Structure 1
Amino acid sequence: MQSEGIVPDGKILASTLKACGILHAIEKGEDIHQKILADGLLTNDVILGNALVDMYVKCGALEKAQDVLWELPVRDIVTWNTVIVGHVHHGEGAQALHCFEQMQHDGLAPNELTFVCILKACSIIKSIDKGEQIHHGIKRQGLLGNSIMLCNALIDMYGKCNSITKAQKVFEEMSSRDIVSWNSLITVYVQNDEYRKALNCFKRMKQNGFSPDSVTFVCLLKACSNIRALKEGEQIHNEITRRGLFKKNIVLGTALIDMYFKCGASAKAQEILEELSCHDPLAWNTLMSGYLKQGEVAQVVSYFEKMQHMALTPDAVSYSLVLRACGILGLLDKVEQIHEDIEKLQLLEEDVVLCTALVGAYAKCGALAKAQNLAKNLPSQSIASWSALIAGYVQHGNGDQALICFEQMLQEGILPDEVTFACMLKACSITQVIQRGEQIHAVIAVQNWLQDNNMLGNALMDMYAKCGDLVKAVQVFQEVPLLNLVSWNTLITGYVEQGQGEEALEYFEKMQQNGLFPDEVTFLCSLRACAEIGATDRGERIHEMIRKNYTLKNNSILGAALVDMYAKGGALPKAQQVLEELPTRDVVVWSALIAGYAQCGQSKQVLHCLQSMQDEGLYPNLVTFSSLLNACSRFGLVEDAYNYFLDMIIRYGVQPSIEHYSCLVDLLGRTGNLDKAISVIHYLPHYHHGAAWSSFLCACQKWGDVGLGRWAFEQALKADGGDAAVHALMGNIYAAA
C-alpha cells in the first residue's frame, strides 16, 4: 500500500496496530508508533491512541502502555480500561488499583467494565476492604440494580476474599440472575471448602429452572472429589452424559477422572480416559497423577508408555510425573531414556518443575553423582532442584554429602527454603551433628517459620531426639503453635528410640487428652514402649483401642507389634492368640513369638513354633535367630543360646552375621564361659575378629582375668591393629588387677 504511494490514515493504522497486538508483533507495532508520532496523528485521534495502548498491552509491555497513556493528548474511559484490563490479566492487582485511582484523578468516572476489572484486581490481592469501597462506589453510581455482570463480579470478589456471607448477601439481593450468577456462588462455596453447600446450591439452581453448563459441572465434581462423595459424583456424571457434554470436553473429562480417583474408583477413572474422543495430555496427566498419589507408581509408567504408543506427545507435566514414578521404583535406565527425550525436545530450558523431577529421579535411583552434576548445570537452577538432590543424599543415608551439597548450594547464591531446611535437619540426624542442627534452628527462629509450618517443627523435634537431646525436642514441641498428629508421633518415637518408654507412654496419654486419636504409627511406637518396659497391662489397653478401630486381618504390622509386646512381657498365651488371629503371618511375627518363648526358657515351644512356621512355607532367617539369641542373652540362657546358634548353622543352613556372633560372644563372656566364647570367635571370618575380641575383652575385665585379657588384646591387634577402645579396655583390665 505504502509502496504505491498511498498514505495510511488513522483508521488503517488502528487496524494494523490491532493485528500487531493479536500477533504479539511488538517490533512492527513500535515502527508504526514512530510513524504516528512523526506524522503527529495522535493530536485529536482518541481511537488511534487507544489502539496504540491496546497493542502494547496485548504484547505484555505494560510499562510502555502506561507511558503512552500519559503521553496521549486526549484520554477517555477506554484508554484507562485497556491498561487496567492489562494489569489484571497479568495478575498485577495493585497496579490495576493504582491506575483506577489515577483515572479518577484524571476526572473520568468508571463504567461497568472498569468496576468488573477492579473487582478482579481486589480478588488478586485479596483486599476485601478495597472491594467493599468499590462496592459502595458502584451503589453510588446506581449501577448495581440493573447489572447482573457487576453482581456476579462482586460475588466472585467476596468469595476469593473468603467472605462467603457477603457473597451470599449479594446473590440473594439480586433482582435477576443468570447461569453465571449460580456458577459464581457454587464456585465461592468450593473455593472456601464448603463442598456440601455447593451441592445444595446446585439443587436449588435446578429448582429455579436453570440448566447447568460445563463450568457448573466442573465445580460440582471438585466438590465431590474433596468430600469423597462418589454417589453424587456418579449422578453428576450421568447428567453430563445425558446432556452430551462429555466426550469432546477435555476439561470435564479431566474433572471426572480426578473425581473418581479421589473417591477411590480408579477403574472408573481409567474408563473415562478410554471413552474420551479428544486425546489431550491433560487427561492422561490427571490419570497418572491420580495413580502417583495412590502409590500405584507402576501404573504411572505403564500409562506413560501407552501414551507414547498412541503417538501422543507427552508434555512437561507428563515427564515430571513419570520421572517421579521411576525414582520411586528405582528405574535408572528408564530415567536416562526419558532424560534423552527431554533434552531432544529442549524441555529443560525453562521448566523448573521438570528439572527438579529429573534431579529427584536420579537421586532416588542412587545415581547421586549424576544428580549433583545435573543440578549444577541446569539452565534454570532453583532451590527445588537442590532440595531434591539433598533429599536424595538423605534418603540413601549419606548425611555428610547432603551437608556438603548444602554448602555448595549457598556458594551458588541459592537461598534455602523450608523444604531444604527440613532435609538438612534429617542430614543432621544421620550424622549426629547437633551443632549444625542448632544453627539451622536459629535461622528458622529468625524467619519465624515455626509459627505456621508443622513440617519444620516436626523435623526439628526429630533431629534433637535422634541426637539424644530430648529436652530440646520437648522445647520445640512446646513452641510449635500448630501441633498435629505427626508432631506427637515424632516426640513419642524419640522417647522410644532413646529407651525412655515410660515418657513415651505419658505423651501417648497426653495426646489423647488433647483430642487427637492415635494412628498406626502412634500405636506401633506405644506398643514398642510397652514391650521395652514390660508394661503389658497398658499394652492390653492399647490392644483394645486397636481392636475397636482397626482390623488385624488387614494390618500384619500392628499384629506383629502386639505379638512382640505380649511376648516380651511374658504373656505368651496372648501373644500366641494374636498370632493365630492373623490371616497371614510372616517371619517377623513368628520371630517375635519365638523370642518370647526363648526368653522364658521354653525350648520345646520354640522348636514347635519353628516347625509350625515351616509348615506355613516360612523358614527361619537372620531376623528369627537375632530375636532368639537376643532373648537368650537378655535372660542369661547360655545353653539355649549355644544350641540355637548351632541349629542355625547345622539344622537350618543360615549363615550367621557379625551381630549373631557378637551376641553369643557377649553372652558367653558375661556368664563366665570364656573358653566357649573363644571357640565362637574362631568361627568368625577374619575381618570380623576385631569387634569380637573387643567384646571378649569386656568379659575379661568383668572377671578380672589379666592373662586371658592380655592374650585377647594381642589377638585384637593382629586382627585390625586395635582401635582406641581396645587400648582403653586393656588399660582398665590392668588398672583393676
Structure 2
Amino acid sequence: MIRCYHTSAPGFSLNLLHFLQRSIDSQSLKLTQQCHAQIHRWGLTQDSVLATKLISAYSTCRNAFDSRLVFDSIEAKSVYIYNALINGYAKNRFFAQSIDLFEQMCAGTVSPDEFTFSSIVKVLGESGDFISGRMVHCMCEKNGFVLDTVVGNSFMSMYVKGGSLRDALKLFDELPCRNLSSWNGIISGYANLRDQTFEKSLWEFVREMQTEGWKFDAITVSTLLSFCAEDKKTWHFGRELHCYVLKNGLNLELSFDDDAHLGCCLIDIYSKSGRVDSARKVFEKLIHRNVYAWTSIINGYAQNGDFMEAFELFFEMQVEGIKPNKVSLVSILPACGSLASLKGGKQVHGFAIRHELNQELAFCNALIDMYFKAGSLSSARKLFQHGCNIKDRISWSSMIVGYGLHGRGQEAVRLFDEMLQHGIKPDMITAVAVLSACARAGLVDDGIRVYHSVLNHYGVNPTPEMCSCMVDLFGRSGQLDRALDFINTMSVPPGPSVWGALMNASALHGNDGMRELAYNFLVQIEPENPANYVSLSNLYASSQKWDVVSRVRTLMKERGLKKLPGCSWINISNETHSFYIFDKAHPCSKMIYERLDELSTAMKEAGLNSEFEGAIKLCE
C-alpha cells in the first residue's frame, strides 16, 4: 500500500509522480492502480500532470482501456494529455485508435505540437497508411513543424518503410539541423531497399556522413553489417566495420537495448561469408551472451555444415542456463536432419511441446523437414496431419519433398492435388518438389500434367531447376531423345543441372554418345568444377580412350583442380562416424572393408557387378 507523508498538495503530487514513474519502470499494474486510487482519494483527478503520467503508466502496463477512462475524465484536455494517449495507443499497437484520437484533436481546440506529429507519423508508418502520412506531412509543412529534427526523422522513417527512399532523401536534404538518427534513417533506407536508381550509393552516403564529422554508433554499424551479410560481395566492408568497432570501443556487451544487435550482426556476417571461426571469436569475447548471441553462433555452424559443433553449442547453451527460443529450435533442426539424428530431433520437438513453442508455423515446417531427412516419414506425416494447426505453402511443399525422397511419388502427386483443392497456389519450389518425386517414381504422365498445370494455370515461370526435373523425368524412363528435344525447346538457357540430369540418365541407360555430349556442355558451363573433368575422364577410360583421359587429367592439373573426396556419416549411440572415400583412419576400417568385400562378392554372384563398379567409379 502506498504511504504518502507530505500533507501539502505539491508534496503529495510529487510523491504520486514518483510512484507512477516507478510503476512505469517496473510495468506494475498493481502499483499504477494504487496510485490511481490515491489520486481519487485526494481529489486530484483533474491535475493535468498526474493524469498525463497516469495515462502513460496504464499504457505501459498494456491497459489501454483504463488509459482511455482517465483521458475521458479530464475536463480541460491539454496537448500533453492527447500526446500521452496517442503514444499509449501506439505502444499497444492500437493504430486505428491513435489515428482517430489525432483526428479528434485536430477537429477540436487543442493544436498538435512536435511530439504529436512525431508520434502519429510513426503510427502511420507502422500501419502502412502512407497516403495519410503524406497528408500529415503537408499539414506539418503548413505549420512549420517539418523543420523540427525529430519530426523530420519520423517522416523519413515513414517514407523508408513505404519504399520511397527518394522522398526520404529529399526531406533529409531539406532538414536545417540533422542528428545521428537522421543519417541512420537514410542508411537504413539504402540497406533495406537496395535501390540502384540513385546516383549516390550506400557507401558514398556513408563516406559523406564521415566527411561531415559524424561518427557511427551501434545502430549505424549493425545496419551496415546487416547489409553486408546479405551480399557476399561486400563482406570485406563488414570486416572493416569490425575494425571500426574495436578501434572506437563500441560496446559489444549484449543487452536488450539497441547495442544488443551489434554482436549478433558480426557473428552473422562472418558466418555467412564462411568464416565461422572468426564468428566464434566474436562470440567468445562477448561479456554477457543472451539467447540471441547463442542462436546466432549455432545458426552459423549449422549453415556452414558443422552440425556436431552446432549440437554441442545448443546443449552448452542450456547448461549455461539460457533457454532456447523458437529461432534457436529452428536453427538446430537442420543439423538433426543432416546428421540423421532422429533422437536429437525428437528431443528438440519434446522441448518445444513442453514450452508451448510447437505451434509456431516456421518451427512446424522445420520439424517436417527434419523428420523425413532423419528417415522418419511417418513422424513427418503425423505432424503434418495432426500437429500443424496452420499450414502454408512451405508446409505442403516440405511434405511433398519428403514423399519424393522416400520414393512415394504417387503420394506426393496426391498431396499436390489436395494442396490445390485447399486453394494454396504452388510456386517454383512446390513444382520442383512434385516433379522430382514424379521423376524418382517414374510417373511420366503425372509429371507432364503437373508441369503444364503450374505453367498454364498458376503462372509459374519455368526455371532451370524445373526443366532439369523434366529432363530427369524423361531420362530415367529411358526417353533420352525426348529429354534432348525438351532441352532444345526450353525457354530458359540450359544450365549445369539440366545437362547433369541428361548425363546421369545417359549413364543409367548406357548411352555413351549422349553422355559425352552432356559432359562436354558441363565442362563448358562449369570450367572450374573438378567433378565434371573426373566424370569425363571416367567416361573415356571406360571406352579405352587413354590418350583423351591423359589430356583431361593434364588439363585438371594445369587449372589446379582437385575433387574433394566424398563423405558420408552415420550416428550410432549419440556418436557420429564419418567416412571418406578410401579412408582408413576409422578404428574399425579393417572390419568395414572386409564387409565391403563380402558385399562385393555377393553382388557379383547376383549379377550386379557392373552397377557396383559404376558406383565405385562415380565416387572416385
Superposed, which structure 2 residues align to 1:198-209 within 5 Å?
198-209=202-213
Query: 1:241, CA displacement in angstroms?
Result: 2.9
Match of 2:333 among 319, 324, 331: 324
Matching residue of 2:297: 287
1:308-329 deviations in Å (ceiling 9; x for gaps) = 8xx8543415963784375246
Structure richer in helix, relative to its length: 1
Within 5 Å, give how 1:171-320 maps onto structure 2. Answer: 171-194=172-195, 197-228=201-232, 229-245=234-250, 251-276=261-286, 282-301=292-311, 303=313, 312-317=320-325, 320=329
The corresponding residue for 2:617 is none
Deviations 1:636-684 (A, max 9, x none): xxxxxxxxxxxxxx9x9534587655547999xxxxxxxxxxxxxxxxx
1:169 maps to 2:170: yes
How far off is 1:289 after superposition? 2.2
In structure 1, what residue type is equivalent to 2:192? Q
Tell me what 1:518 maps to.
495
| Residues 1:395 and 2:373 aligned together | yes
3-state SS in 1 of match to 2:213: coil
Offset at 1:212?
2.7
AA matched with 1:492: V
Deviation readout 1:309-363 (Å, 9 max, x if unpaired): xx8543415963784375246496xxxxxxxxxxxxxxxxxxxxxxxxxxxx647
* Residue 79 of structure 1: aligned partner: 81
Say whether residues 1:155 and 2:121 are aligned partners: no
Cα distance, 1:33 vs structure 2: 2.9
Residue 490 (structure 1) aligned to one of 455, 469, 472: 469
1:61: Cα distance to partner? 1.4
| 1:474-504 Cα shifts (integer Å, max 9, x gaps) | 1244134355443333333333333333343
Q: 1:91 to 1:550 in 2, by over 3 A?
A: farther
Select between 534-543 and 206-215 the one with higher mean Cα deviation.
534-543
SS of residue matched to 2:145: coil
1:114 equivalent in alignment to 2:124: no
Q: Contact between 2:153 and 2:182, CA under 8 Å: does it hold in 1? A: yes
Deviations 1:153-205 (A, max 9, x none): 11111111111111111112223322222221111100112599221111111
CA distance in structure 2 between the partners assigned to 1:568 and 1:98 by the alignment: 79
Deviations 1:354-397 (A, max 9, x none): xxxxxxx6475xx6xx7887777764441455544543443255
Partner of 2:52: 50
Contact in 1 for aligned 2:20/2:35 (Cα 8 Å): yes
1:404/1:71 CA distance change after superposition, 3 Å: same
Match of 2:432 in 1: 458
- Higher gyration radius (CA): 1
CA 1:180–1:455: 2 relative to 1, 3 Å: same
Distance 1:97 1:530, change over 3 A: farther
Does the 8 Å CA contact 1:20/1:26 hold for their aligned counterparts? yes
The alpha-carbon deviation at position 277 of structure 1 amounts to 5.1
In the TM superposition, 1:501-516 aligns within 5 A as 501-509=480-488, 513-514=491-492
Match of 2:616 in 1: none
- The alignment's TM-score, normalised by the length of structure 1, stands at 0.66
Where does residue 29 of structure 1 map in the other structure?
32
**Residue type matched to 1:181 in 2?**
S
Contact 1:399 1:431 in 2 (8 A): no
Aligned partners of 2:298 and 2:219: how far apart in 1? Answer: 24
Q: 1:484 to 1:168 in 2, by over 3 A?
A: farther
Structure 1: distance between partners of 2:96 and 2:55: 19
CA contact (8 A) 2:502 2:518 kept: no
Alpha-carbon displacement from aligned partner over 1:511-557 (angstroms, at most 9, x marks no partner): 5x52x5624x44421322344473636743652443453424xx43x
* Matching residue of 2:523: 546
Shift of 1:76: 2.3
Choose from 450, 454, 459 the match for 1:473. 450
- The residue type paired with residue 17 of structure 1 is L
Letter of the 1:175 counterpart: P
Matched, 1:534 2:542: no
Does 1:408 find its partner at 2:383? no
Describe the shift of the 1:507–1:313 C-alpha distance in structure 2 as closer, same or farther (beyond 3 A): farther
Greater RCO structure (CA 8 Å; 6+ sep): 2
Contact (CA 8 Å) 2:368, 2:383: kept in 1 or not? yes
Equivalent in the alignment of 1:17: 20
| Equivalent pair of 1:198/1:223 in contact (CA under 8 Å) | no
1:57 to partner: Cα distance: 0.4
Q: Secondary structure at the match of 1:481?
A: coil
CA deviations over 1:275-321 (Å, ceiling 9, x no partner): 4555555444433322221222233345557778xx85434159637
Q: Trace 1:365-380 onto structure 2 (pairs within 5 A).
A: 379-380=356-357
Q: Which residue among 409, 425, 448 is the counterpart of 2:400?
A: 425
SS at match of 1:449: coil
Tell me how many residue pairs correspond in the alignment. Answer: 563
SS in 2 for 1:316: coil
Q: 1:288 to 1:426 in 2, by over 3 A?
A: closer
Q: Is the 8 A contact 1:300 1:321 kept in 2?
A: no
Stretches of structure 2 that go unaligned for 5 or more consecutive residues are 254-258, 567-580, 585-593, 612-620
- Taking the aligned partners of 1:407 and 1:297, their CA distance within structure 2 comes to 29
Tell whether the 8 Å contact from 1:492 to 1:526 is kept in structure 2 after alignment.
yes
Q: Contact 2:330 / 2:363 at 8 angstroms: preserved in 1?
A: no
Q: Deviations over 1:127-178 (max 9, x none)?
A: 3222212211211222123x12222211111111111111111112223322
Q: State the SS of the aligned residue for 1:144.
A: helix
- 1:646 maps to none
Residue aligned with 2:598, SS:
coil
Letter in 1 for 2:25: I
Distance in 2 between the 1:94 and 1:86 partners? Answer: 12
| TM-score of the aligned structures, taking structure 2 as reference length | 0.76
Structure 2 CA distance for aligned equivalents of residues 218 and 542 of structure 1: 46
User: Judging changes above 3 Å, is the alpha-carbon distance between structure 1 residues 105 and 509 closer, same or farther for their aligned structure 2 residues?
Assistant: farther
Equivalent-residue separation in structure 2 for 1:377 and 1:657 (angstroms): 51
Percent identical residues: 18
The C-alpha deviation readout for 1:197-232, integer Å capped at 9, x for no partner, is 221111111223323333222222223333332433
2-structure distance, mates of 1:105, 1:459: 58
Cα deviations across residues 84-106 of structure 1 (Å, max 9, x unaligned)? 22333344444432332233344
1:394–1:402 CA contact under 8 A, matched in 2: yes
CA spacing shift, 1:203–1:19, aligned 2, 3 Å: same
- Structure 2 counterpart of 1:41: 44
Deviates more, 1:46-55 or 1:282-291: 282-291
The letter for the 2-side match of 1:526 is L
**Partner Cα separation in structure 2 for residue 283 and residue 372 of structure 1:** 22
- Read off the aligned partner of 1:225 and give its amino acid letter: A
Aligned partners of 2:52 and 2:80 also within 8 Å: yes
Task: Give the superposition deviation at 1:570.
Answer: 8.7
User: Structure 1 residues 378, 404: closer, same or farther in 2, change over 3 A?
Assistant: same
Q: Alpha-carbon deviation of 1:442?
A: 4.5
